[in-house]
Structure 1
Amino acid sequence: MDCLALERFRWETSRVRSLQKLRTLRDQVNEEFGRRLLFAEVLEWNREVNEYHDALIRRVIVLAEEQLKEERGEAAPLPYAFLLFGSGGRGEQTLWSDQDNGLIYADPSSADERIRADRYFAELAARITEGLETIGYPPCHGRVICTNVQWRKPLQDYCRMVNEWMQEPDWEHVRYLLITADVRAVYGDESLGRALVEEIYRYTADRPAMLEHMLRNTLHHKVSIGVFGQLIKERYGEDAGGVDVKYGAYIPIVNGIRLLAVEAGIRHSSTEERITALIAGGHVSEEIGHDWLEALTLALKLRSMAPYQIEEGRYVTRGKLTADQLTKERVTELKQCLRIGTDLQKYVKKSIQKEINKG
């Protein structure tokens, strides 16, 4: 999408007064971005898509705030931030990503203030979630969402939760920890989100053994390529003959880069920015880092080509390329992406084990 068109859509989005009109705008923009994918520079296309997601989410939040103000005369009793996790936190949402979010607010100074804050932010979270569903974002299946009290609390409680995960690093706790490492504040007081991330980086810097627990989770999803270079395809069901590009290509790449960023103390949440910072900081050679950028570019492109459908008014996808989509060109791109992904996972394992031994 050219700059003028994107700016016009953002301008309209910032002024829309109803969720129904916001949904109409989103549908129009999705259609336009979908047409551009095969002809665009992928990383730039991805940045623009996510800038527009951010604009949509912010508008839903503003409308929810205004609604509470008009109906109840209530404004936020404390500074707060709306957080994005997952691909939203990394700035890598597809056109049909779901909701992975949370809400964090400043620590109350009294019991009464805590009660008021809990009540207000619970109602705000419910309205934001409903608004996002109305404009097509399905809720997270894993319940990483602001209506879940686990992901809606004051900063001190969030930090306490993160420290409990790190002190008892079982599989589920480390999974949540890695989800949190991708967090990004899309609205409100960004310092609250940064303070939360600092807990993870500070603890890991002091205790490098934590990286070993993170490594096991990071390498859980294997790249979808066999020992002889063949694609590992879906064997059964309606996806038979296709390839899972989300969990077989994209997730192994972003997981590996995330762990290297944590190891290096790099605070960026975007995978692209993490790779660039790893190169700039001398943590990896330019040649290897550019290979990783190539793999990320291919993974983002192929993931965004996966078919989607609209169910109950929400955009959904299984994140898989169909057998019919596996043309010679797509297979060549996919194999290149997967080969680099396999080398990346080997690099991550070696790098983390070296750091653990040194620590």
Structure 2
Amino acid sequence: MNHLSVEKVLERINQTEGFDELRSIRDQVHEMFQEHLLLSYSPELQEQINDIHDGLIKHAIFLSEKQMVGHGWGLPPVPYAFMLFGSGGRKEQTLWSDQDNGCIFADPVLKEDRLRIEEYFEKLSSYILNGLDMLGYPPCQGEVVSSNKQWRKPYSEYESMMLEWLQEPVWENVRYVLIMVDMRCVYGEASLIAGLKKQLFEYVRQHPAILQALLSNTLHHPISLGFFGQLITERYGEDAGGFDIKYGAYIPIVNGVRLLAIQAGVWESSTLERLDHLITGGRITIEAGHEWIDAFHIALKLRNRTPSQIEDGLYTTRGKLVAGQLTKELRQELKACLRAGAFLQKYVRKVVEEQIGKK
């Protein structure tokens, strides 16, 4: 799919007037991308997939705002931003990524307006998530979605919640902090999200000891490579003999690069942008950086090859390569990716522990 055709698809998306028509476009585009992915994968194709996802989500929000007006709720009463977390926040979605999102809005000027404003964004979020469901995006199993009040708050409450997590870095709180590091504005007032990121990175800069808690969470998913260099495959169930590309390769690389970015004060949310800044800033060597970039591309390519299906109208995948896909050539490529990922995890542990030890 060339650049011009993506522009035409985005133009079609922005001209649609309802979710049924928008779903039809997604289905058509999904089929076209799948055909391209069967032939070859490229970083440019991955970027195009995410451009289409962004276009679909943005227009779903626009249509939801129109529904709010049509049902008597009016326009948004204060500035707000709809943000993506996870692979959406990092601009690394596959064709079948789920919903990981939140809603942040400006604090009301008058306290008596607070309840009305909160009701407005609760309703708007319900319209948005219903629209995304109609488009085939399954909700996040961990309930990191704007229908969950934890992820739908005014700015001051988001700020307080984030600081509480940072000041009490137990496992679950650290998990939430790392989720927020990947947040990206897809629609609305981006300065609201930038303000939160500034606070988060400033806190880490002033309290580097928290890197120890972040490190423990970051290394929770080890690279699935055995001591003797063999792939660690699934042992039981319908995926027996297959390989968990998401949690065995992709997530460990993403997590490792993210912590290096946090340590270096790099705000960018995508893994590739983080690596680029780490290289140009002299935080990692050019050789190591490009080795991890290559490994990341392999992980993304293989994520896009995992079998998928439509269940109850939703695009889903278990994120695992099946045994029959693990050809000799693919195993060699995957092992190269995993060796680089294992080196990354060792490097992250080393540099974080060295910094903590200096304080």
TM-score, normalization by structure 2: 0.99
- Superposed CA deviations along residues 100-132 of structure 1, whole A, max 9, x for unmatched, are 000000111122221121010000000000000
How far residue 39 of structure 1 moved from its aligned partner, in angstroms, is 4.4
| 1:230 maps to 2:224 | no
Distance, in Å, in 2 between the alignment partners of 1:22 and 1:136 is 11
Distance, in Å, in 2 between the alignment partners of 1:265 and 1:356 is 16
| 1:332 maps to 2:324 | no
Instruction: For structure 2, list consecutive stretches of 5 or more residues without a partner in the other structure.
Output: none
How far residue 281 of structure 1 moved from its aligned partner, in angstroms, is 0.2
How far residue 69 of structure 1 moved from its aligned partner, in angstroms, is 0.6
Distance, in Å, in 2 between the alignment partners of 1:321 and 1:149 is 35
Tell me what 1:111 maps to. Answer: 111
Partner SS for 1:17: coil
Distance, in Å, in 2 between the alignment partners of 1:6 and 1:29 is 9
Q: Given that residues 86 and 179 in structure 1 are in contact (C-alpha distance below 8 angstroms), is that contact kept between their aligned partners in structure 2?
A: yes
Q: Given that residues 42 and 300 in structure 1 are in contact (C-alpha distance below 8 angstroms), is that contact kept between their aligned partners in structure 2?
A: no
- Superposed CA deviations along residues 323-350 of structure 1, whole A, max 9, x for unmatched, are 0111112111111110100000000000
Distance, in Å, in 1 between the alignment partners of 2:332 and 2:31 is 27
Distance, in Å, in 2 between the alignment partners of 1:48 and 1:162 is 32
Distance, in Å, in 2 between the alignment partners of 1:295 and 1:111 is 51
Distance, in Å, in 2 between the alignment partners of 1:2 and 1:243 is 32
How far residue 42 of structure 1 moved from its aligned partner, in angstroms, is 2.5
| 1:165 maps to 2:165 | yes
How far residue 38 of structure 1 moved from its aligned partner, in angstroms, is 4.8
Q: Which amino acid aligns with 2:92?
A: E
Distance, in Å, in 1 between the alignment partners of 2:259 and 2:112 is 41
Q: Which amino acid aligns with 1:98?
A: D
Distance, in Å, in 2 between the alignment partners of 1:204 and 1:68 is 39
Distance, in Å, in 2 between the alignment partners of 1:105 and 1:327 is 49
Tell me what 1:14 maps to. Answer: 14
Distance, in Å, in 1 between the alignment partners of 2:156 and 2:41 is 42
- Superposed CA deviations along residues 169-217 of structure 1, whole A, max 9, x for unmatched, are 0000000000000000000000011111112101000010010000000
Tell me what 2:309 maps to. Answer: 309
Tell me what 1:248 maps to. Answer: 248
Pairwise mapping of residues 95-244 of structure 1 onto structure 2 (< 5 A)? 95-244=95-244
Identity of aligned residues (%): 52
Distance, in Å, in 2 between the alignment partners of 1:202 and 1:36 is 43
Tell me what 1:346 maps to. Answer: 346
Q: Given that residues 73 and 120 in structure 2 are in contact (C-alpha distance below 8 angstroms), is that contact kept between their aligned partners in structure 1?
A: no
> CA separation of 1:73/1:129 partners in 2, compared to 1, >3 Å: closer, same or farther?
closer
Q: Given that residues 258 and 271 in structure 1 are in contact (C-alpha distance below 8 angstroms), is that contact kept between their aligned partners in structure 2?
A: yes
Distance, in Å, in 1 between the alignment partners of 2:93 and 2:72 is 34
Distance, in Å, in 1 between the alignment partners of 2:258 and 2:73 is 42
Distance, in Å, in 1 between the alignment partners of 2:297 and 2:340 is 12
Tell me what 1:24 maps to. Answer: 24
Partner SS for 1:14: helix
| 1:66 maps to 2:73 | no
How far residue 73 of structure 1 moved from its aligned partner, in angstroms, is 4.9
Q: Number of aligned pairs?
A: 359
Distance, in Å, in 2 between the alignment partners of 1:276 and 1:309 is 34
Partner SS for 1:83: strand
- Superposed CA deviations along residues 210-230 of structure 1, whole A, max 9, x for unmatched, are 100000000000111100010
Q: Given that residues 41 and 301 in structure 2 are in contact (C-alpha distance below 8 angstroms), is that contact kept between their aligned partners in structure 1?
A: no
- Superposed CA deviations along residues 244-292 of structure 1, whole A, max 9, x for unmatched, are 0000000000000000000000000000000000000000110000001
Q: Which amino acid aligns with 2:117?
A: A
Partner SS for 2:230: coil
Q: Given that residues 104 and 152 in structure 1 are in contact (C-alpha distance below 8 angstroms), is that contact kept between their aligned partners in structure 2?
A: yes
How far residue 37 of structure 1 moved from its aligned partner, in angstroms, is 2.0
Q: Which amino acid aligns with 2:63?
A: L
Q: Which amino acid aligns with 1:218?
A: T
TM-score, normalization by structure 1: 0.99
Partner SS for 1:305: coil
Distance, in Å, in 2 between the alignment partners of 1:117 and 1:138 is 27
Distance, in Å, in 1 between the alignment partners of 2:309 and 2:259 is 33
Tell me what 2:55 maps to. Answer: 55
Tell me what 1:80 maps to. Answer: 80
> Over aligned residues, Cα RMSD in angstroms?
0.9
- Superposed CA deviations along residues 288-333 of structure 1, whole A, max 9, x for unmatched, are 0000100110000001110111110001111000001111121111
Instruction: For structure 1, list consecutive stretches of 5 or more residues without a partner in the other structure.
Output: none
